[in-house]
Amino acid sequence: MLSANDSLRRLLLLYALWSAAIVFSGSLLYLYFKNAGLSELDLIASFLFWPVAPVLLILFLNKSKKTDFRGYMATAMVLQFIAFFVLFLFEPVKELLFFNTFLVGLTCFFFWVPFNIMYFELSKEMAATMSSIYFSLASLLGLIIPVASGVIAETLGFRILFLISAILFLLLLAAVRFVEKREYKYDFIDSTKETKGFKTLIVLEGVYGGGISAATTIITLMYFETPIELGVFLSMTTLFSVIASFIISKISDKAQKRKRYIVPSALGLGIATSLAGLATSAVAWFIAISARNFFATLFYPFTTTIMVDNKRNMSKLMVGREWLLNIGRIFGISIVLFCSAVFSTIHLSLVFLGFLILIYPLVIELKKRHISVA
């Protein structure tokens, strides 16, 4: 039996390796398919397969037999391997992108649910700090890895990049065995009940997260057209957000005043997102996304921290949370698709998304009867 600190260190190592592989493999995916001739609407529509997959999977696996968390995580590695190996094998058509995105979406359950349960159970005493590490690590890795991906894609080609990505996920299978064994099953109804008081907040987070992923990915491709340009952009826009996140989370853990940080970070995120919709040049877009990323890495740690503070059952909560997050993501991506198809401007979706995150603090106030936020 491992100590809590040893278990947490092993989880963090696995998380770092997984996040590195995710950033490496996914950074240039949409540039590849845009260069292959896919339309803006096809690219946005592909994002829908990402949240639809876990929504269906969570319902399908409801009350299934007990399974070791390591089995779930190993399945996630295999799915990611297949998702990127097929990109190496076949020509880039929209059906291939849809298939890739669906498989990647399945890992939202197979990897993230077991990881989140174990991680936040083990880190309750440092909830904000550990949440900050959780949300900042991908950004930290994003300072370097996208540039490496860009260099490989530009010198060796995209399909070699995807082959390397597939191999990385296959190698990650070896790291899963270091995770402590834990058998698990869930009841969907019980899991959603555990989210009482947080449902609207989780869905709002999902709407914003799904929409912003689709919108910023596609808009960025309008300004940066080569692998190295895109890689440098992705790396540079994460520069200041990581440092700010660690500072604010340490202060919050000591003061235990979550609302003091949630309100300004949500306001900053909402305003920065809406203003990003006004960007009309590469320089303006770079400034806007840098600001958005800065506030996002301040905001996101607290969305999980307030649930941990309310002493919910993590084993139940994280399944319900994942389901609701992905329901929200479907709506968020649909907003982006609607703006692009009906109004012929994807930028408008950022104004809507920014407004939605602005009301996050208001929803917290309205939920005071069911949840406690200091």
The CATH number for 111's domain is 1.20.1250.20
pLDDT of residue 259: 73
pLDDT at 7: 83
Residue 154 CA: distances (Å) to CA of 26, 32, 148, 199: 15, 11, 10, 44
Concatenated DSSP letters for 271-338?
HHHHHHTT--SHHHHHHHHHHHHHHHHHHHHHHHHHHHHTT--HHHHHHHHHHHHHHHHHHHHHHHHH
371 lies in some domain: no
Domain presence at residue 174:
yes
Range of the domain at 272: 4-366
CA 93, distance to chain mean position in Å, is 25
Residue 129 CB-half CA count within 13 A: 11
Measured distance CA(340)–CA(41) in Å, rounded? 7
**Is residue 131 a part of any domain in this protein?**
yes
pLDDT band (50, 70, 90) for residue 219: very high
Element (H, E) at 195: none
Q: Give domain status of residue 266, yes or no.
A: yes
| Contact between 356 and 208 (Cβ < 8 Å) | yes
Q: What is the pLDDT of residue 250?
A: 62
Q: What type of residue sits at position 367?
A: K
- Whether residue 373 lies inside any domain: the answer is no
Strand partners, 105: none
Which residue blocks in the chain are alpha helix, DSSP H? 4-26, 29-35, 40-47, 49-60, 69-89, 94-110, 112-122, 127-141, 145-156, 158-176, 188-193, 199-223, 227-236, 241-255, 258-276, 282-309, 314-342, 348-358, 360-366
The single-letter code of the amino acid at 50 is: W
Residue 370 has pLDDT above 90, yes or no: no
pLDDT band for position 270 (cuts 50, 70, 90): very high
pLDDT of amino acid 322 = 97
Q: Which DSSP category does 39 fall into?
A: -
Residue 153 lies in a domain: yes
Q: CA–CA separation, 241 vs 181, rounded Å? A: 35
Query: What's the chain's average pLDDT?
Result: 91
User: Number of structural domains, the chain?
Assistant: 1
> pLDDT band at residue 129, thresholds of 50, 70 and 90?
low
Distance separating alpha carbons of residues 175 and 18, to the nearest angstrom = 10
133 part of a folded domain: yes
pLDDT band at 35 (very low <50, low <70, confident <90, very high): very high
Task: Evaluate if residue 39 carries a pLDDT over 90.
Answer: yes
In this predicted model, what pLDDT tens digit does every residue of 326-344 receive, in sequence order?
A: 999 999 999 999 999 999 9
In a domain, 50, yes or no: yes
Q: Residues 41-68: what's their mean pLDDT?
A: 96
pLDDT of 211 strictly over 70: yes
